[in-house]
Amino acid sequence: MQTMDYHHLLNKQVKKLLPESYLEDDTIVQFLNAINNSFNNFDKAKNLADHAFNISEQEYQQVTANLREQNKIKQRSISQIKEAIKSLDPKAEFKMDDSDDDLIHIISFLKQRIEEAKLLELELINAKDVAEKAALAKTQFLSVMSHEIRTPMNAVIGFTHLLIHQDPKPEQVEFLNFLKFSAENLLVLINDILDFNKIEAGKIEFESVDFSIKDLISNTRLSLLQKANEKDIKIKLMLDQDLPNALIGDPVRLGQILTNLISNAVKFTNSGKVTITASLAQHDNEHSTIDFEVADTGIGIMPDKLDYIFDSFSQASSDTTRKFGGSGLGLTITKRLLQLQGSDIYVKSEYGKGSEFTFSLTFKNSSKHINNILNSDEFYSLKSLKGTKLLIAEDNLINVILAKEFMKQWDVDCDVAENGEIALMLVKTNNYDMVLMDLQMPEMDGYQTTIAIRELEGEKYKKLPILALTASAMLDIQDQAFTVGMNDYISKPFNPNELHRKIVEYSNKN
Ligand code: ADP
């Protein structure tokens, strides 16, 4: 081997210290080769170490740069948080140059805020609880009040009706008519305020039941006919021949809308007529849209008042209440009831000539067929109902006397039960054509009694018409009446025409 092939450091030493002759000796050459390998290996390891060191150096630089950048972001975030905190709490103070202290400050500030928010949340939950309880108490109060007020009103209106029909002295007729006007007006007021309250509380739910639109409109007309007759006004009905036999919707609420409009039309008309029109506007496989119009030849409304008549408690002129009665809520309720069903109401009027109210409602089509009741005005004049036997379950003595008085006038044979248990016993031992059932009675209430009657053995008990006598206009009470198996309801104080009509309708005697 040539000396120059060795690692340059070894070469140098060999040349300097080792005579050439030694390189002939194999042992020495082997020794030198081993040393040469060690030198070369050392060099390789050193190169690798240098390379690794260079890379770490670069990484170190990069990491440092990143840290600096992150620190800047942190500082920026801290300043932004500080600004945000200052805007929330202008009195908050920070040491501007010591960011770690600031962080501690921020964290304690946020902790405090979270604690405050939690407390606030608790307070809100409590307040909501209190408000809900108050709302419930209000609803219950209204329901009780409604019952408490209507029961005596039932007597006042009922007996006034009876007195008017019992040949009063001429000078008494006027007083009795005043009494009737005031009592009926008070009742409208109570009903309007209760309904308005319910709508404002968002408590109105619309039913979806099958009903006959033609019956509903003609029955609504009939219930107001007496008022119109008293004023010598005709109520004309124009029903489109194409109106579907049955529809699905909320007949109670539609009845209320029509009653409001027709009773206003009658109220504000002194001569001429009121015309109710219902026509089919659109019809497809699923839905039918019906256009309604209530027009009158009455006093009309001044153009500048037209926009206000739908506002709560507003009447077109200040002497309206004195002359015509009313709360100024009827049209507000009507408009809200339509809006809640996705519709609206429109009015056209010519002062001194008359007014025209129109609205449209879309209903689902019904597959049922409802037999229309034959309606004719004469048919419902309060004719004798001889041969009809009915049971009145009612605990209020005045209501009982009143109801019996009506029954006497119509030749109806009637029994009275002052609680549910007696009613059940009488139903078992007699053949009644129908039962008028008060809902609130001692021992067994009207709901329990109805359930018990429907559970009796025998088809006739399933079919026996049971009509709720309800002092409350509230929908949930009517709903409950249908749920327990009652056929219909009559709200107290009952209108004699309506009571007569329902007896005819359900007793199958005419
Ligand atoms: P009210 O209880 O007074 O009837 P409404 O809200 O039903 O309250 O009506 C508000 C007002 O609109 C009435 O007071 C009356 O001035 C006017 N109005 C409503 N309907 C008619 C109508 N058919 N003809 C004339 N004026 C009407």
Listed residues 365, 387, 403: the one ending a domain = 365
Task: Name the residue at shortest CA distance from atom 11 of ligand 1.
Answer: 315
Alpha-carbon distance values, 384 to 67, 404, 436, 450 (Å): 102, 14, 18, 28
CATH number (domain holding residue 265): 3.30.565.10
Task: Name the residue at shortest CA distance from atom 17 of ligand 1.
Answer: 316
Task: Name the residue at shortest CA distance from atom 4 of ligand 1.
Answer: 326
More confident residue, 433 or 14: 433
Query: Quick one: which atom of ligand 1 is closest to the CA of 332?
Result: 6
Please tell me the distance from the alpha carbon of residue 296 to that of residue 274, in angstroms, as a whole number. 4
Enumerate the H helices of 201-305 as residue ranges.
213-230, 251-267
Same domain, 23 and 63: yes
Same domain, 15 and 50: yes
Same domain, 218 and 348: yes
Look at residue 335 in the predicted model and tell me its pLDDT.
94
pLDDT band at 160 (very low <50, low <70, confident <90, very high): confident
Look at residue 375 in the predicted model and tell me its pLDDT.
44
If residue 277 lies in a helix (H) or strand (E), which one and from where to where?
strand 273-283
Same domain, 188 and 310: no
Same domain, 152 and 290: no
Which residue out of 321, 331, 351 has the highest number of ligand 1 atoms within 8 Å of its CB and is therefore the one to mutate?
Answer: 331
Same domain, 10 and 111: no
**What is the gyration radius of the CA atoms in the chain, in angstroms?**
46
Q: Which of 176-180, 288-292, 411-415 tops mean pLDDT?
A: 288-292
pLDDT in tens, 299-354: 999 998 888 898 877 676 666 666 666 667 889 989 999 999 999 999 999 999 99
Task: Name the residue at shortest CA distance from atom 13 of ligand 1.
Answer: 315
pLDDT in tens, 428-479: 999 999 999 998 888 888 999 999 999 999 898 999 999 998 765 555 566 7
Residue 207 falls inside a structural domain? no
Query: Quick one: which atom of ligand 1 is closest to the CA of 357?
Result: 23
Same domain, 261 and 351: yes
Task: Name the residue at shortest CA distance from atom 16 of ligand 1.
Answer: 316
Total structural domains within the chain: 3
Same domain, 32 and 124: no
Residue 482 is encoded by which pair of tokens? 């249908």
CATH number (domain holding residue 143): 1.10.287.130
Report which residue type is found at 389.
Answer: K
Whole-number Å distance, alpha carbon 315 to ligand 1 midpoint, is 6
Whole-number Å distance, alpha carbon 328 to ligand 1 midpoint, is 7
Same domain, 164 and 139: yes
Look at residue 296 in the predicted model and tell me its pLDDT.
97
Domain range enclosing 28: 1-101
Q: Is the pLDDT score of 397 beyond 50? A: yes
Look at residue 206 in the predicted model and tell me its pLDDT.
86
Same domain, 169 and 281: no
Same domain, 230 and 328: yes
What integer best gives the mean pLDDT of the chain?
A: 84
Give counts: helices (H), strands (E), the chain: 14, 12
Residue 385 falls inside a structural domain? no
Query: Quick one: which atom of ligand 1 is closest to the CA of 320?
Result: 14
pLDDT band at 122 (very low <50, low <70, confident <90, very high): very high
Q: Which residues line ligand 1 (CB under 6 A)?
A: 260, 264-265, 268, 296, 298-301, 309, 315-316, 320, 326-332, 355
Q: Which of 2-6, 46-50, 92-96 tops mean pLDDT?
A: 46-50
Q: Is the pLDDT score of 356 beyond 70? A: yes
Whole-number Å distance, alpha carbon 255 to ligand 1 midpoint, is 18
Residue 491 falls inside a structural domain? no
Residue 205 falls inside a structural domain? no
CB 245 within 8 A of CB 369: yes
Whole-number Å distance, alpha carbon 316 to ligand 1 midpoint, is 7
Q: Is the pLDDT score of 380 beyond 50? A: no
Residue 296 falls inside a structural domain? yes
Same domain, 265 and 189: no
Q: Is the pLDDT score of 96 beyond 80? A: no
Listed residues 365, 393, 414: the one ending a domain = 365
Listed residues 198, 227, 248: the one ending a domain = 198
Residue 257 falls inside a structural domain? yes
DSSP-assigned beta bridge partners for residue 247: 211, 365
Residue 97 falls inside a structural domain? yes
